[in-house]
């Protein structure tokens, strides 16, 4: 009886583990597209240097599925906009286009927070941030380090504010539909940072000129 109970327990655990596996959302998608997205996701995961191969595989799938979901959301928006432009005119067309954009924004918001929640089953907070950076070309740290290097006299609270805005920008960039839109999301916050620093009394033209000179002096490139 004890032996049978042990076997049943192992079978139950096997079912639970299998049920917990993340399925790749490949159905109905072009195999070449699926392969390219999986490879892109794998590159992000490789930088995490996870020792658990199962976790690495699951995280890769979660990231790939997020890319698929984003693609679906934007394709749905595009189809509705196309239909509106082909079948409607005037105010009706404009309202339909606005509605398609609003539905897209709502879909992005509904699904945005589920992504890090899924990652948290396998990754800690620092690793999740690394995934977000991987999806947004590492712009957060590149911009932060450049700003701090450009203005060495920044106060700690100013550095904290700059980082907070860049992290906020990353959340929008993660959901942007292409690389240009991702950089545009950061661009809006870079403008906010520049305005903030100007109001704090920094002469950005002067600071940038001095920064370029320091870079050249240490043999760097601008």
The answer to whether 98 and 106 have CB atoms below 8 angstroms apart is no
Please give the torsion angle defined by the CA atoms of residues 215, 219, 220 and 222, in that order, rounded to the nearest 10 degrees: 60
Give the pLDDT band (50/70/90) at residue 61: very high
Residue 175, exposed/middle/buried by CB under 10 A (0-12, 13-18, 19+)? buried
What integer pLDDT is reported at residue 165 of this predicted model? 99
Q: Is pLDDT at 10 greater than 60 in this prediction?
A: no
DSSP string, 10-44: HHHHHHHHHHHSPPP--TTS-HHHHHHHHHHHHHH
**Global pTM value:** 0.89
What pLDDT, on a 0 to 100 scale, did the predictor assign at position 26? Answer: 98
pLDDT of residue 59 exceeding 50, the answer is yes
Alpha carbon distance 219, 103 (integer Å): 50
pLDDT score for 9: 42
Res. 221 pLDDT band, cuts 50 70 90? confident
Position 20 scores a pLDDT of 64
Tell me the per-residue pLDDT of 79-133, one tens digit each, with 9 for 90 and over: 999 999 999 999 999 999 999 999 999 999 999 999 999 999 999 999 999 999 9
Distance CA 150, CA 142 (A): 12
pLDDT at 222: 78
Q: What is the pLDDT of residues 166-218, one digit of tens each?
A: 999 999 999 999 999 999 999 999 999 999 999 999 999 999 999 999 999 99
Q: Are 190 and 143 in contact (CB under 8 A)?
A: yes
Q: What is the pLDDT of residue 3?
A: 52
């Amino acid at each position: 009886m004890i032996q049978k109970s042990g076997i049943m327990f192992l079978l139950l655990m096997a079912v639970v583990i299998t049920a917990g596996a993340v399925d790749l959302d490949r159905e109905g998608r072009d195999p070449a597209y699926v392969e390219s997205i999986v490879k892109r996701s794998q590159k992000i995961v490789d930088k995490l240097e996870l020792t658990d191969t199962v976790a690495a595989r699951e995280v890769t799938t979660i990231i790939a599925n997020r890319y698929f979901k984003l693609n679906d959301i934007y394709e749905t928006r595009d189809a509705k906009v196309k239909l509106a432009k082909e079948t409607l005119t005037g105010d009706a067309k404009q309202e339909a286009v606005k509605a398609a954009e609003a539905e897209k924004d709502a879909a992005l918001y509904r699904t945005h927070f589920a992504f890090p929640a899924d990652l948290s089953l396998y990754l800690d907070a620092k690793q999740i941030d690394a995934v977000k950076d991987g999806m947004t070309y590492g712009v957060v740290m590149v911009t932060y380090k450049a700003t701090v290097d450009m203005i060495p006299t920044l106060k700690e609270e100013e550095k904290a504010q700059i980082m907070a805005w860049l992290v906020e920008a990353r959340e929008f960039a993660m959901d942007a539909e292409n690389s240009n839109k991702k950089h545009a999301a950061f661009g809006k916050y870079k403008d906010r940072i520049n305005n903030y620093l100007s109001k704090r009394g920094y002469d950005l033209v002067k600071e940038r000129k001095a920064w370029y000179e320091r870079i050249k002096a240490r043999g760097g490139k601008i």
